Amino acid sequence: MNAQRELGERLTREVLEPMKSMFVGKDEVIDLLAVSLVAGENIFLLGPPGTAKSALVHELGRRLQGRTFEYLLTRFTEPNELFGPFDIRRLREGELVTNTEGMLPEASLVFLDELLNANSAILNSLLTCLNERVFRRGRETRDLPTLMVVGASNHLPEEDALAALFDRFLLRVRCENVEDDRLSEVLDAGWRLEMGQAGAEPSIDIEDVRRLHAGLGRVDLDPIRTIYRDVILRLRRAGFEISDRRAVKLQRPIAASALLCGRDAALVSDLWVLRYVWDTDEQREVLSSIVQDALGDSAADESAHRRARRPEAPDPEQLARDLELIEGRVRAGELSDATMFSLRDRLGIIAGRCEWVRTEDGRGHLKERVAELWKAFGE
């Protein structure tokens, strides 16, 4: 286990920290990419074009000397464009064998931009690759070396078929343009990146990451098992759809967080990854509050992952949208007792988040709306 701890520390020191210097304002995304990579899980980036989503994955692949496959999906993307064409020589012999050289089935890291443009022709093959790390085409079946698939889009799924695809991405994070006051830093770092001044050559490769990934099963999760179960139950009561399968898989990024911190046992602070299991924008503030409440003082521990620290002040516009959603459901009427309990719980969480809004006017306005909604609940 000492070898895995050392690899986790090296990955942080020699890959993640240099990347954070190169990509200004992308610390959160880089930390999530690292956890997903070590956990062997997929991650979804939500954000507009031009926010370095592709560049982040490309640079991560370069620093790990891994094979990276990138593709921009359209509604007309065909299976050959992702998985490769049939081998003509073998086809003449009556065999249907795919020539996968340089294509998705040979990549360690995969980036699929505009993921939600995926059409029915490639959907089934993609789902199998994402969930089982297996490529199937006719009678052809082969295991994939893929450690992580990164999907990106500027919107969330609206169709059921695409919702199933989205569900295969365990963690979700926003990737936005940086704040205006950091634009000068972006221009400087971006110019150095454009000029090829990417810093030192890689000293850790993808096989090291595979060895780190193999250490997941040796991370002791017993110290956090009970509180993790309680958090999952609370999230379900608050209306988050976390299946048993998803709850089991989420233990992998928790263990990965521990490994990246050089530990062989999970701490309560490693539950920070649960902030990133949202399905909609409206869930993000409530989710963050529930998880932060569970972390408590553990986030201040020196051995905690840096992402365990209290997140930035809440977005007042997002809180207002959350309140509108609750108000709409309450006024619609005829809600079950379980649904009313869930909505009351979420309102209580939002009320707590309102206290952290920076501006006095925004805070006061939100608190007034919260008070009106409590009256609608008869309280």
We report the CATH number of the domain holding residue 136 as 3.40.50.300
Give per-residue pLDDT as tens, 231-250: 999 999 888 989 999 999 99
280 lies in the same domain as 364: no
Please check the confidence at residue 92 and state whether its pLDDT lies above 60: no
Q: Is residue 202 part of a domain?
A: no
Range of lowest pLDDT (35-39, 93-97, 348-352): 93-97
**Top-confidence residue, 37 or 88:** 37
DSSP 3-state of 72? strand
Give the chain's domain count: 3
- Verify that 347 and 271 share a domain, yes or no: no
In 3D space, the residue among 191, 206, 23 whose CA is nearest the CA of residue 110 turns out to be 206
User: Percent of the chain at pLDDT above 70?
Assistant: 94
Select from 231, 238, 232, 230 the least CA-distant residue to 342.
238
Regarding whether 219 and 146 lie in a shared domain, the answer is no
Domain stops at, among 308, 336, 357 = 308
Report residue 200's pLDDT band, with 50, 70 and 90 as the boundaries. low
How far apart are alpha carbons 136 and 128 in whole angstroms?
8
The answer to whether 83 and 125 have CB atoms below 8 angstroms apart is yes
**Among 25-29, 257-261, 331-335, which stretch is predicted with the lowest mean pLDDT?**
331-335
Model-level pTM?
Answer: 0.84
pLDDT band for position 172 (50/70/90)? very high
Asked whether the predicted pLDDT for residue 3 surpasses 90, the reply is: no
Q: Looking at per-residue confidence, does 212 or 346 come out higher?
A: 212
Are residue 341 and residue 357 in the same domain, yes or no? yes
Q: How much is the pLDDT for 197?
A: 65
Same domain? For 32 and 164 the reply is: yes
Q: Is residue 118 part of a domain?
A: yes
Q: Which of 10-24, 179-193, 252-266, 279-293 has the lowest mean pLDDT?
A: 179-193
In a domain, residue 206? The reply is: no
Average pLDDT, the chain: 87
Domain span at residue 285? Answer: 215-308
The reply to whether 231 and 279 lie within a common domain is yes
Tell me the DSSP string of 165-227: HHHT--EEEE--PPPGGGHHHHHHHHHHHHTT---SPPSS-HHHHHHHHHTGGGSB-GGGHHH
pLDDT of residue 90: 62
Tokens of residue 285, six digits: 């503030």
296 occurs within a structural domain: yes
Same domain, 49 and 147: yes
pLDDT at 136 (0 to 100): 87
Is the pLDDT at 221 greater than 90? The verdict is yes
Specify whether 105 is located in the same domain as 189: yes
Does 355 reside within a domain? yes
Task: Give the pLDDT of residue 82.
Answer: 95
Same domain membership, residue 347 and residue 324: yes
Considering the domain architecture, whether residues 301 and 322 belong to the same structural domain is answered as no
